[in-house]
Amino acid sequence: MLRSARASRAVCRALAANISLLKQVTRSAGRRTVHARARVLPRRQNLVTLIERRYRRIVLSSEAETSLTISAMKAFLLFCVVLLGSTLSIFAADKVAEKLKPAPDVITPDALLAHIKILSSDEFEGRSPGSKGEELSIKYISDQFKAAGLQPENPDGSYFQEVPLAGIKSDPKVVLTVVGKPPMELKFPNDFVASSARLQPEIKIDNSDLVFVGYGVVAPEYGWDDYKGIDVRGKTILMLINDPAVPDPKDPSRLDEKMFKGKAMTYYGRWTYKYEIAAQKGAAAAIIIHETEPAAYPWQVVRSSWAKENFELDNRNKNMDAVSARSWITLDVAKKLFAGCGQDFDALKKSAITKEFRPVALTAKANIDIKQTLRSFKSHNVIGKFEGADPTLKDEYIIFTAHWDHLGRHTELQGDQIFNGAVDNASGDAAVIALASAFPKADPPPRRSILFMCTTAEEAGLLGAKWYAEHPLYPLEKTLADINIDSMNVWGKARDIEDVSYGFSTMDDALAAAAQRQGRTAIPNSRPEKGAIYRADNFEFSKVGVPSLYIGKGEHLLSRPENAPLRSDEFDLHDYHQVTDEVHADWDLSGAGQDVDLLFEVGYQIVNADKFPEWKPGVEFKPKRDAMMNK
Ligand SMILES: [Zn+2]
């Protein structure tokens, strides 16, 4: 039961906004052809009733506002019917698409917006795992799955996969001492952050030797080994962020396309990789030197994401295979430390961009003490299944994923404390819910089965997806693909759609064809240097071999000149992972509606295809898939 009058007022405002939109739509509907097919109306009304019911739950919590709200709701209901009726056919030119026509009718901008408004309302407190926000989120999503007619994945009738998590709050101390000099006592969190994935109350590292290992990368395919000639067991290693920035021998102003994919980030550039390899090498602690440009984010981001409670999977081994201490230090601290040891940081950094680089032992020691407050709890992936119609093929699956979690509520903040995560990723959940309601209406019905999954703890390191990939409910070799959605375009229709995982799998072609049928183009990842495909749930499926498609946003909006700054870049700059990622009055979900139609078609093609999607030759995830499929 939701009680806040503040949220009720917000919903009233939202409804009022819808009413004014309704007027506009009614006006514009008069100007264009409206396809109100009586045959599909009962289905549409189901959806409308559903959304209305959700609104009622939040809205009716305030007595005083009840009568106003009911009339607003009636208007909203009418509004939904009108808009649902006015959805234009998008697949007119194509036979397959023609067949699918009735289904996308349930995918409407307003249904998407309604879901987003609820999931990102202050009531949901930023949807942090293990909080009231989790309870509300997984209830809302599973109710939607149920209403759409999905089966619970679990034979006990629930839509949940339990994910054991541990919350870890770290109180770290790091002292670096150049031999023969007074110790550098670093200030947390201005100079450094440190924590451990090991579920232990205290991590202590005494007098450990410090070694600079360049980028900390071992990449045989590039003939690269930053650990050559050294045993780092028990030592504390220092490394640079991102992957080695190797210049093109012909034009040193550019990066070598043949090394670590040039400007694009490879997994070797991710901090997760750096801590993983440090653990494999037996290092006691791993410290990343932060630099704003190559990291693509300022120290502020490191500080705020590591100085709060973090989550890890509560694995049976208590994560004792992880590196004992993981830390970041600022560039200033690193420069001071290197200078103290008689080393020039910039010169060492330069030497690290060649294959000839060898680790450099510093004349310094590290003392690290991290006290950790731990709590264990069960979080949940929400999973629903729509069974395929073919008696044999129904045991094969595709999965649509979007994470439901976000950053929660930060009580130390002045003013707004709630990270509503409206774009990230209430919008993706709305898309998955819309797809879940569309597939059961597809005619002819899909041959294979479809799983709809809203994952937990993505923001904490893709933990829900990782748990599923390591504990799959359906065999991975029978899982054709993961299609991941993380943040939709909420700013109107676009000329294009970003294929973030472009170049990785044969699904690129299905996406490009579907986009073309909408009169749009699929474009490659527009910010490859950010390594987005390694930073979202699709990566956990890729890692275990399952071909994954990561759909981005429509980027070039019809409302802006072709070469104007991207709206999504403005979002990244001002609202990404900020309390301002909320529903705004200028939102226009028509582009998101188009994107979900597109995903629907891509998914429909894959579940009915004669062949499984495949990784393209040379893609790092391909060997795992080939082994799984006995190729
Ligand atoms: Zn996200």
Mutual angle of helices 5-31 and 109-119, in 10-degree steps: 170
**Distance from Cα 504 to the centre of ligand 1, integer Å:** 20
pLDDT at 509: 96
Q: Is the pLDDT of residue 87 over 50?
A: no
Distance 141 CA to ligand 1 centre (A): 17
230 has pLDDT over 70:
yes
- Report d(CA 120, CA 582) in Å as an integer: 7
Structure confidence at residue 451 (pLDDT): 97
CA of residue 42 to ligand 1 center, whole Å: 34
Angle between helices 41-59 and 132-147 (to 10 degrees): 160
The CA 430 to ligand 1 mean position distance, Å, reads: 13
129 C-alpha to center of ligand 1: Å? 14
Alpha carbon of 206 to ligand 1 centroid (Å)? 38
Ligand 1 centroid to residue 533 C-alpha, Å: 12
Residue with tokens 């295979």: 321
Q: Which 3 state secondary structure label does DSSP give 104? A: helix
Q: Do 120-149+387-628 and 166-375 come out as alike in CATH topology?
A: no
> What is the distance in A from the centroid of ligand 1 to the CA of 250?
38
What 3-state DSSP class applies to 133? helix
Q: What pLDDT band is residue 465 in, cutting at 50, 70 and 90? A: very high
Which range is least confidently modeled, 44-48, 150-154, 461-465, 523-527? Answer: 44-48
C-alpha of residue 535 to centroid of ligand 1, in Å: 9
Q: Compute, in angstroms, the gap from residue 431 CA to the centroid of ligand 1.
A: 13
Distance 458 CA to ligand 1 centre (A): 7
- pLDDT score at 19: 37
Q: Could you tell me the distance, in angstroms and rounded to a whole number, from the CA of residue 423 to the centre of ligand 1?
A: 8
Tokens of 163: 């994910």
In this predicted structure, what is the pLDDT of residue 99?
59
Q: At residue 401, does pLDDT exceed 70?
A: yes
Cα of 493 from ligand 1 centre, angstroms: 21
Q: How far is the centre of ligand 1, averaged over its atoms, from the C-alpha of 91 (Å)?
A: 30
CA of 401 relative to ligand 1 center, distance in Å? 11
**Average confidence (pLDDT) over 512-521:** 95
Write the DSSP assignment of 374-386 as a string of letters: EEEEEEEEEEEEE
CA–centroid distance, residue 263 to ligand 1 (Å): 23
Distance 486 CA to ligand 1 centre (A): 5
Q: What is the DSSP letter of 501?
A: T
Q: How far is the CA of 189 from the centre of ligand 1 (A)?
A: 24
CA of 227 relative to ligand 1 center, distance in Å: 33
Which of these ranges, 148-162, 230-244, 379-393, 547-561, has the smallest mean pLDDT?
148-162
C-alpha of residue 57 to centroid of ligand 1, in Å: 27
How sure is the predictor about 305, in pLDDT bands with cuts at 50, 70 and 90? confident
Question: Cα(463)–Cα(324) distance, rounded to whole angstroms?
Answer: 19
What average pLDDT does this structure show over 107-121? 95
CA of residue 460 to ligand 1 center, whole Å? 10
Cα 451 to averaged position of ligand 1 atoms, centre (Å): 19
pLDDT value at position 104?
59
Rounded Cα distance between 399 and 483, Å, is 6
Res. 75: pLDDT tops 60: no
**How many Å lie between the centroid of ligand 1 and the Cα of residue 573?**
15
How many angstroms does the Cα of residue 566 sit away from the middle of ligand 1?
Answer: 19
Distance (angstroms) between ligand 1 centre and the Cα of 402 equals: 8
- Ligand 1 centroid to residue 459 C-alpha, Å: 7
CA terminus-to-terminus distance, the chain? 53
- Report the pLDDT value the prediction gives residue 70, as an integer from 0 to 100: 39
308 CA from centroid of ligand 1 (Å): 18
Top-confidence residue, 227 or 19:
227
How high is the pLDDT of residue 496?
96
Q: How many whole angstroms from 426 Cα to the centroid of ligand 1?
A: 9
Ligand 1 centre and the CA of 404: distance in Å? 9
Q: Is the pLDDT of residue 117 over 70?
A: yes
pLDDT tens track for 475-512: 999 999 999 999 999 999 999 999 999 999 999 999 99
User: Considering only the top CATH level, what class is 120-149+387-628?
Assistant: alpha beta
Q: Is residue 467's pLDDT more than 50?
A: yes
**Cβ within 8 Å of residue 239, ≥6 positions away:** 212, 213, 214, 215, 216, 226, 274, 286, 287, 288, 289
Helix intervals (H) in 235-343 = 271-280, 292-295, 299-306, 331-340
- Please state which CATH class domain 166-375 belongs to: alpha beta
Mean pLDDT for the stretch of residues 432-459: 95
Instruction: Report CA(444)–ligand 1 centroid distance (Å).
Output: 33
- Please give the Cα distance from 215 to 359 (Å, whole number): 10
CA of 457 to the centre of ligand 1 (A): 10
Whether residue 132 has pLDDT greater than 80:
yes
CA of 118 to the centre of ligand 1 (A): 17
Q: Considering the chain, what is the average pLDDT of its residues? A: 85
Backbone φ and ψ for 520, nearest 5 degrees, come out as -120, 175
Report how far ligand 1's centroid is from the alpha carbon of 56 (Å): 28
Instruction: Please determine, for residue 236, whether its predicted confidence score (pLDDT) is greater than 50.
Output: yes
Query: Residue 529, SS3?
Result: helix
CA of 483 to the centre of ligand 1 (A): 14
DSSP string covering 418-440: EE--IIIIIIHHHHHHHHHHHGG
Residue 101's pLDDT band (cuts 50, 70, 90): low
Ligand 1 centroid distance, CA of 495 (Å): 23
pLDDT at 3: 35
Question: Strand pairing partners for 372?
Answer: 170
- 580 Cα to the center of ligand 1, angstroms: 15
CA of 291 to the centre of ligand 1 (A): 23
More confident residue, 349 or 54: 349
Model pLDDT for residues 251-263, shown as the tens digit of each residue: 999 999 999 999 8
For residue 315, pLDDT beyond 70:
yes
Q: Ligand 1 centroid vs 571 CA: distance in angstroms? A: 13
pLDDT value of residue 35: 32
The predicted-structure confidence for 570-627, as pLDDT tens digits, reads as follows 998 899 989 999 999 999 999 999 999 999 999 999 999 999 999 999 898 999 999 9
**pLDDT score of 96:** 58
Give percent of the chain above pLDDT 70. 83
Instruction: Kindly give the distance from the C-alpha atom of residue 536 to the centroid of ligand 1, in angstroms, as a whole number.
Output: 7
Ligand 1 centroid from CA 413, angstroms: 22
Distance 576 CA to ligand 1 centre (A): 9
CA of 420 to the centre of ligand 1 (A): 12
Kindly report which listed range (301-305, 491-495, 551-555) carries the lowest average pLDDT score: 301-305
Whether the per-residue pLDDT at 9 is higher than 50: the answer is no
pLDDT(349) > 90: yes
Q: What's the CA-to-centroid distance between 492 and ligand 1, angstroms? A: 20
Q: Answer yes or no: is pLDDT of 5 > 60.
A: no
Fill in the amino acid letter for 174: V
Mean pLDDT of 102-121: 87
Mean predicted confidence (pLDDT) in 155-184: 94
Specify which residues 496 forms β-bridges with.
521
Measure 35 CA to ligand 1 centroid, in angstroms. Answer: 35
Residue 23 pLDDT > 50: no
The whole-angstrom separation of Cα 428 and Cα 199 is: 31
CA angle 529, 580, 47 (to 5 degrees): 95
Lowest mean pLDDT among 147-156, 370-379, 459-468: 147-156
Helix 109-119 and helix 66-86: axis angle, to 10°?
Answer: 140
pLDDT tens for each residue of 142-164: 999 999 999 997 767 899 999 99
Whole-number Å distance, alpha carbon 342 to ligand 1 midpoint, is 43
| 184-199 mean pLDDT | 95
* Distance from the alpha carbon of residue 90 to the mean position of ligand 1, in angstroms: 28
Q: Does 171 score more than 90 pLDDT?
A: yes
Domain ranges of the chain: 1-86, 120-149+387-628, 166-375
**Which pLDDT score, from 0 to 100, does residue 307 have?**
80
Q: How far is the CA of 615 from the centre of ligand 1 (A)?
A: 24
pLDDT of the residue at 92? 36
